[in-house]
Amino acid sequence: MENKPKILIVDDEENICELVRLYIEKEGFDAIIANDGQEAVAKFNKEKPDLILLDIMLPIKDGWQVCREIRAQSKVPIIMLTAKGETFDKVLGLELGADDYVVKPFEPKELIARIRAVLRRSADSVDEKADEDELSFDGLKINQSTYEVYIDDKKVEMPPKEFELLYFLAKNTNKVFTRDQLLDEIWGYEFFGDSRTVDVHIKRIREKLEGENRTWALKTVWGVGYKFEVS
C-alpha cells in the first residue's frame, strides 16, 4: 500500500487544526497536529512529515523561530499561515526558507492546491539529480545534491531559496531571466510574491560571493532582469 504524504499542521487554534485535518485527510493525506512552537519542532523530529503548515503567531516559539530551527536541519517544504491583517513580511519568510504562504481565512480548495503544488515542486527538485549535480566555475562550486556552495574551497552558507536561485541561473549561463520568470521557476506560479523577493535574494547572494577578478558574475540587465554571466 502506498504511503500517504504526512502533513504537520501547526496552529494554536485547535478548531483550525481540526478543520484543516478534515480537509487534508479527505484529500488522501495523513495529518499530525501541534499547538505550539516547541511541540511543532518535537513532532517534526519524531514524525518526519513531508510538509509543514506553520502558523506565525504561536505560543512558546513563534513560527519564524520554528522555521529557522527546522531549516537548520531539513529542506522539508514549509507553507506559512498568516491571519488577514497580520503583519507578514513575505521576504523574511522566504529568506528563512519558507516555500509559500496562505492567508487565513482560506478556501479549502486553495489550501489543497498550494499543498499539492509545493509537494510537486519538492519532488521535482529531488528527481532532478543526474548529470549536473555540481557546477564549477572560476573558484566557485555549486553542488545540487548537497545544497552546498564553495568559494575557493570555503563553504558559503545559503538558505534553500538563495541556493536554488543561484543554481538555476548558473545552470543557464549567460541567459537573461525576468524577475517574474525567476519567481515562477524558483517559488512557483502559485506563490503570490513580488519582484522585490528576487532582488533581495540576488543582493544577498552577491554579498556572499563577491570577489575580484572572477570570470563569472551575477549581472543585472537593466529593465529586464538577471543573468549569470561567464566570460
Determine the pLDDT at residue 109.
Answer: 87
Residue 190 per-residue DSSP state: T
- Tell which residue, 16, 8, 13, has the closest CA to residue 40: 8
pLDDT tens per residue across span 8-44: 999 999 999 999 999 999 999 999 999 999 999 999 9
**Phi–psi pair at 5, nearest 5 degrees:** -60, 140
Q: Are 104 and 19 in contact (CB under 8 A)?
A: no
- Tell which residue, 91, 65, 63, 58, has the closest CA to residue 79: 63
Residue 132 per-residue DSSP state: G
Contacts of 49 (CB under 8 A, 6+ apart): 6, 7, 8, 32, 43, 76
14 CA to centre of own chain: 26
Task: Kindly report whether the global pTM for this prediction surpasses the value 0.85.
Answer: no
| Residue 218, strand partner residues | 228
Let me know how many helices (H) and strands (E) the chain has, helices first.
8, 12
Burial environment of residue 162 by CB neighbours within 10 A (0 to 12, 13 to 18, 19 or more): buried
DSSP output for 80-128: EEEETTS---HHHHHHTT--EEEEES--HHHHHHHHHHHHHHHHHHHHT
Considering the domain 4-122 in this protein, what is its CATH number?
3.40.50.2300
Count of CB atoms situated within 10 Å of the CB of 6: 14
Percent of the chain with pLDDT over 90: 46
- pLDDT tens-digit profile, the chain (231 residues): 457 889 999 999 999 999 999 999 999 999 999 999 999 999 999 999 999 999 988 999 998 899 999 988 888 999 988 876 565 666 666 667 788 888 888 888 888 988 988 888 777 665 554 445 788 888 899 988 888 899 988 899 888 889 999 999 999 999 999 998 898 888 875 555 667 889 999 999 999 987 767 889 999 999 899 999 998
CATH 1.10.10.10 spans which residues of the chain? 132-228
Q: Are 177 and 226 in contact (CB under 8 A)?
A: yes
CATH 3.40.50.2300 spans which residues of the chain? 4-122
Top CATH class of 132-228 equals mainly alpha
